[in-house]
Structure 1
Amino acid sequence: MAGTQHTQTHPKYQYRFMALLRADMTAAPCRLTIEATSEQEARQRLSGRYILSFAGCIPAQEVRHV
């Protein structure tokens, strides 16, 4: 019996945050943009280094080669 191949992909979004660097609380806030499938994934990838405030979410544009 042949195995089935999972071809469904999760849509990616660009999540934007205002962020403060945890290591330097005197630094000015900066804007971070990260591509992820969910806000939770985006926060998990950044929260170790930054204190985050959600700023927005837009669909990621896929690159198409012609």
Structure 2
Amino acid sequence: MLDHITPLTGRNSLTPNKYTWRFLAISRIDREAKPCRLSVEAHTEREARKVLAPHFILSFAARLPVEVHHV
């Protein structure tokens, strides 16, 4: 028996999958700005929030798998 955890996708991989994280965002600077949808690719929600949080107040909306296209 292998001594590791298999990702939910069923793939046996040492590298975590990347996801597209979507947030409903409001600008921290412009209080009159309307909420907008922002997307960022990252391995974890924490990593995605690190990119956007300095500039926006975020509300989690979705986690989508990143499509991998092989040529």
What is the TM-score normalised by the length of structure 2? 0.76
Query: Is residue 2:55 matched to residue 1:49?
Result: yes
Deviations 1:22-57 (A, max 9, x none): 110110000001100000000011100110000010
- Is residue 24 from structure 1 mapped to residue 22 from structure 2 by the alignment? no
Name 1:8's counterpart in structure 2: 14
Where does structure 2 lack aligned partners over 5 or more consecutive residues? 1-12
CA distance in 2, matches of 1:30, 1:64: 32
- Poorly superposed stretches of 4+, deviation over 2 Å: none
Identity of aligned residues (%): 44
Aligned residues: 59
Unaligned runs of 5+ in 1: 1-6
